[in-house]
A and B are shown apart, each in its own frame.
Chain A
Amino acid sequence: MPEKATSIILTGVGGQGVLLAARILSEAALRSGLDVKSSEVHGMSQRGGSVLAQVRFGPRVYSPLTPKGTGDYLLALEELEALRYCALLKKNSRIMMQRCRILPSPVIAGFTPYPEDSVALLREEGYRVSLMNEDEVGTSGSARFANVFLLGMLACHLQFSPEVWREVVLNAVPERFREQNRQAFEKGRTIL
C-alpha cells in the first residue's frame, strides 16, 4: 500500500447503488487493516438527484473529502455524473464507467443538451476510461448489479485480498441476490 491515502470517487444517480458500493469498498479497506474515511451526500438521493460518495483509505486518513485533482479512481454508474466529478481525479487516472445515460430534468425539458460523446470528452481531459457495457454482466437485469461489477473492475487495481472482497460483497447484499452479485464481481475482475 502506498504511504499516502488512496481516494476513490463513486458517482451516479439516486437509486443506482452508489452508496452501497461505497460501503462495500470502505468495509474492504477496514478489513484490510487500513484507516478509512468515507463521505456521502444523500439528502436528495431518492429523488433522482446526483449522488457522490468518496472513500479514502491508507495508513492515516484525515479529510473524508478528496482534494481536487488528487483522486485515484472514479467509479461512475452514469456518464454525465462522471463528467461532473472527474475533476477530482489526478490526470491519467482511471475511470470505470457504466455505459448509461439518465437524462436530467433540464435536458428532458429541452433547456440544455446532454453531452454527445462523454467517453471522448473524458479521454480529451486526459483520463483513462474503462467501460462496462450493458450486456456485459451476463445475468438478467444487469443494471442492478452494475455497482458490484464496477467494484470488480476496481479490485484489479487494489491490493485487497480476494477473501476480503468476497466477504464484504456477500455480507452487503440481500441473500437472494448473492449469486448474481458474486458473478457480477467476478466478471468485473476480468476487465482490465
Chain B
Amino acid sequence: MKKLLSGNEAVARGAWEAGVVLGTGYPGTPSSEILENLKEYEGVRAQWCVNEKVALEVASGASWAGARVLVTMKHVGLNVASDPLFTLAYTGVKGGLVIVVADDPGLHSSQNEQDSRHYARAAKLPMLEPSDSREAREMAKLAFEISEEFELPVLLRLTTRVSHSRTIVAPGERGEISTPFACIKDPKKRVMIPAYARLRHRVLEKKMERLIRYAEDAPCNRLEEGGGEPGIITSGISYQYCKEVAPDASYLKLGMVYPLPIGTIENFVRSSEKVFIVEELDRFLETEIKAMGMEVTGKRPEYCLGELNPDRIEALLREKSESTSSSPPIPVRPPVMCAGCPHRGVFMVLRKLKLFVTGDIGCYTLGTLPPLSALDTCLCMGAGVGQSEGFRTVLPAEDREQVVAVIGDSTFIHSGITGLIDIVYNGNGGVVIILDNRTTAMTGRQPHPAMGVTLRGEETTATNLEEVCRAVGVRRVRVMNPHDLQGMEDFLKESLPLVEPSVMIARAPCVLLTRGEEPRPYRVDLDTCVACEQCLQTGCPALVKLPDGKVRIEGFLCTGCGVCAQVCPVEAIGEYIRQDEPR
C-alpha cells in the first residue's frame, strides 16, 4: 500500500528492505529520524554511537564481517567521520556499507552550509542523491548493491528539504540475508600499513574507472527529453524545483552525482542549444562538467548561498539577479530557551560575572542571543573546551580568570572529553561547565551514554560524568543545581583564579523530559513589583511585560524553576499557592 513518508523514513525503509542488520550514527538535524525509524523494524539493530567517527568504525567492522550496515549523520558529522572514511575507500568493504549524509542548505539548524558532495571526490567514493522520498527508498537499496558490487562504501546525500518532505512511497518486502558473518583474515586488504595501502590505492583508482563506466548506465541517472529548450542537468531537490518552473525543458537528471557519466553528459550537451547546470550550494557538477571541456551555463555567485526554491531557480534560469522583496518587515520570531530551561540559570550567573564564555553546539548556543547575551564562541562539537585552553594559554595572567567553557552532556561525550584531557595534560587551569540536562535536547531528545539508556530504550551501563572528569585528572569536580544561582556564583568565583582545572556539572533534566509532571508555577506580587525589569533579563518566555512596566507570569508556561525569583531585587516573585497569596 502506498504511504506518505519523509525522506528520512524512506531511507530507513529502503535500508531495511535491503537487508540491513545494523544502523549506527549520531543525532544531527536533519538526519536524526533515520535511525529513530530504523529501530522500529524487525531484524535490525539501530544504535546511537558516541560520535560519527565511532559510528563509522563500528559499521566498518560489521561490514568486514559480511553484514549490510547503514551509517547516518549530518553534514558536519561527516567531518568527524572523515578519518576512517578516506582509508575505508582503500580497504573497501565486504557487506554493503552506506553512509547517509544530510546537508543543511539554508542553515535551518547548523553552524555551516558545507556541500558534502566534495567528500565523494576527495575520498573517491560513489555518491547518490535522491530528489524525493520515492527515490530515497530506491536509492538506499541501490546504494547497497553498488557498495557490494564495487566493494566500496557508498555515500547517500540528502538535504533538509528531502529529509523533511513527505512524498508518496510504495514500500516493498525485506530481501533475504544469506551471508554467514565471520572474521576472515586478509591483512593486505584490512591492515593499511604503507606497503599494503599503496596497493589498495591502485585498486581504488581502478574501481573509480569502473564506476565511471557504471554511471553511464546507472538506473538512477535519467534522460527526460522534453523536446524543448533549454537542456538542464540537475540532481536532488533542485530537479523538482526545475520541473515546477520549466516543465518543457529537456533534463539529464543525475541520481549518481559522483562519479559522473561523461559520455551521457557529452551527448546531452551536444543535443541542446543551451545547457544549464542547476544545483544547490557549490558549483560541484558545473566544475566537473566544465573540466570535461564542455560548454555549459552555471549560476551567478548569489545562488551558491542558501537554499534554492522554485522562485530562485526561475531567476537563475533567466540568468538574472534575484529580486529583493520590498514588503514591510515582520518582527522575527527567534527560537528561545524554554520556560524552566536549566541552562538559563547558568547563563544568568555567567552574565553577572561578565565572563568570556567559549561555547559549543546545542540548545545552550541560544545563550548568545539577547537578553542573555552570555555565550561568546561556537565553532563545532567539542570546540569550546579546547578554545578556553587556547585563550587562557596566551592571555596575560590577570585576564585568564574571565574565561570559562560551557558544553552539553551529549556534546561532552561526543568530543569534549579529549579537550578536557588536554587541559589537564598541558597544565591549564580554568573551569569547564558541563550543562548536563540528561539528554541530547536540540536534535529531539535522543538518549546518550551518560543516561544509561539506548536508542531502543534498553537499560545499559551509564557513563558517570564526574568519574570521567576525575579519571582524566581533574580533582575539583562539583555537581550543582543550575537553578541555584548563588551556589554556582560562589563555586565559579572560588575556582576561576586557581591554577588547577575545575569542572562544574550543572545537572537538571531538560524541561521537555519532565513535561507532564505537576508544575508549581510562580507569580508576581504586583504591589511589590517595582518594574525594574531585572527578571525580563532572563529571557524566559513565561514572563510578560504589562503596560505599566510590571511583569506577569504565564501560569501555564511557568515550571517553577525559580530563577526569576532569585534575580528579583525586591522579592516580588514567589511560589504560587492560592490566588493572591505569595509565600
The listed residue (A39, A62, A63, A112) touching B164 by CB distance below 8 A is A39
Query: Which residues in B have their C-beta under 8 angstroms from that of A67?
Result: 244-245, 309-311, 314
Please name all residues of chain A whose beta carbon is closer than 8 Å to the beta carbon of B334 when the two chains form the complex.
49, 104-106
Are the C-beta atoms of A27 and B331 separated by less than 8 Å? Answer: no
B333 touches A65 (CB 8 A): no
**Contact indicator A109/B371 (Cβ below 8 Å):** yes
Smallest beta-carbon distance A25→chain B, Å: 11
User: Is B366 a contact partner of A47 (Cβ separation < 8 A)?
Assistant: yes
Chain A, Cβ-Cβ closest to B167? A37
Q: What residues of chain B lie closer than 8 Å to A42, measured between beta carbons?
A: 164
CB of A191 closer than 8 Å to a CB of B? no
Q: How far is the CB of B259 from chain A (nearest CB, A)?
A: 27
Are B536 and A37 in contact, CB atoms less than 8 angstroms apart? Answer: no
**Which residues does chain B contribute within 8 Å of A65, judged by CB atoms?**
161, 241, 309-310
Taking A64-B165, A65-B241, A80-B333 as contacts, is the C-beta distance between A36 and B4 under 8 angstroms? yes
Is B168's CB under 8 angstroms from A36's CB? yes
For chain A, the bracket of interface size reads 35 or more
Taking a contact as CB atoms under 8 Å apart, the answer to whether A84 and B330 are in contact is yes
> Which residue of the partner chain, among A26, A35, A66, A80, contacts B331 with CB atoms under 8 Å?
A80
Cβ-defined contact, A87 with B327, below 8 A: yes
Min distance, Cβ A58 to any Cβ of chain B, angstroms: 12
B243 contacts A63, C-beta separation under 8 Å? yes
**Alpha-carbon separation in the docked complex, A40 to B240 (Å):** 16
Contact B536 A48 (CB under 8 A): no
Q: Is the CB of B336 within 8 A of A105?
A: yes
Chain B residues near A36: list those with CB within 8 A: 4, 166-168
Q: Which residue of B lies closest to A13 (CB)?
A: B333
Tell whether, in the assembled complex, residue A87 and residue B544 are in contact, meaning their CB atoms are under 8 Å apart.
Answer: no
A48/B165 contact (C-beta < 8 A), A43-B108, A64-B240, A68-B311 known: no
CB-contacts of B320-343 with A (<8 A): 325, 327, 330-338
Q: By the criterion CB–CB under 8 Å, are A41 and B108 in contact?
A: yes
Alpha-carbon separation in the docked complex, A107 to B331 (Å): 7
Assembled-state Cα–Cα distance A27/B314 (Å): 30
Asked if B243 and A26 sit within 8 Å, CB to CB, the answer is no
Q: How many A-B residue pairs have CB under 8 A?
A: 126
| Cβ-closest chain A residue relative to B106 | A41
B109 on interface, CB distance cutoff 8 Å: yes
A101 to chain B, nearest CB (A): 11
The reply on A1 being an interface residue by CB < 8 A is no
B545 CB-CB contact with A under 8 Å: yes
Contact A47 B363 (CB under 8 A): yes
Interchain CB contact (< 8 A) of A26 among B2, B4, B109, B330: B4
Q: Are B325 and A63 neighbours in the complex by a CB distance under 8 Å?
A: no
Q: Chain A residues near B63 (CB, 8 Å)?
A: none
Interface centre among A39, A42, A113, A114 (most CB of B within 10 A): A39
A38 near B165: Cβ-Cβ < 8 Å: yes
* Residue A147 CB within 8 A of the other chain: no
Q: Does A83 count as interface, using CB distance less than 8 angstroms?
A: yes
- Chain A residue at minimal CB-CB distance from B247: A62
A63 touches B544 (CB 8 A): no
How far is B168's CA from A37's CA once the two chains are assembled, in angstroms? 7
Chain B nearest Cβ from A62, distance in angstroms: 4
Complex CA distance for A50 and B335, rounded to whole angstroms: 8
Query: For A107, what are the chain B residues with a Cβ–Cβ distance below 8 Å?
Result: 331
Q: In the assembled complex, how far is the CB of residue B55 from the closest CB belonging to chain A, in whole angstroms? A: 21
Taking CB atoms, residues of chain B closer than 8 Å to A47 are: 335-338, 363, 366
Q: In the complex the two chains form, is B241's CB within 8 Å of A43's CB?
A: no
Question: Which residues on B sit within 8 Å (CB–CB) of A38?
Answer: 4, 165-167
A48 touches B335 (CB 8 A): yes
B539 interface hit (Cβ, 8 Å): yes
Contact B544 A62 (CB under 8 A): no
Task: Write out the residue numbers on chain A whose beta carbons fall within 8 Å of the beta carbon of B309.
Answer: 63, 65, 67
Q: Find out whether the CB atom of A83 lies under 8 angstroms from the CB atom of B240.
A: no
Q: Judging by beta carbons under 8 Å apart, are A62 and B240 in contact?
A: yes
Report which residue of A65, A81, A107, A114 has the largest number of chain B beta carbons within 10 angstroms of its beta carbon: A65
Chain B residues near A43 (CB-CB < 8 A): 29-30, 108-109
Q: Which residues of the partner chain B approach A23 to less than 8 Å between Cβ atoms? A: 4, 166
Smallest distance from the beta carbon of A5 to chain B beta carbons, Å?
Answer: 9
B528-573 interface with A by 8 A CB criterion: 536, 539, 541, 543-545
Task: Let me know if A110 is at the binding interface, CB within 8 A.
Answer: yes
- A63 and B310 contact, CB distance less than 8 A: yes
Closest CB in chain B relative to A149 CB, distance in Å: 20
- Is A156 among interface residues, defined by CB-CB distance under 8 A? no
15 A-B residue contacts at CB 8 Å?
Answer: A27-B4, A36-B168, A38-B4, A44-B335, A47-B366, A48-B335, A49-B333, A62-B244, A84-B330, A87-B327, A104-B332, A106-B331, A108-B536, A108-B545, A113-B331
Query: Which chain A residues have a beta carbon within 8 Å of chain B's beta carbons?
Result: 13-14, 23, 26-27, 30, 35-44, 46-50, 62-68, 80-81, 83-84, 87, 103-110, 112-115
Kindly list the 5 A-B residue pairs having the minimum CB-CB distance in the complex, ordered from nearest.
A43-B109, A47-B335, A104-B333, A44-B335, A63-B244
Give 11 new A-B contacts, CB below 8 A, not counting A38-B167, A46-B512, A65-B241. A23-B4, A27-B4, A37-B240, A42-B164, A43-B109, A46-B338, A47-B363, A47-B366, A66-B310, A67-B314, A115-B330
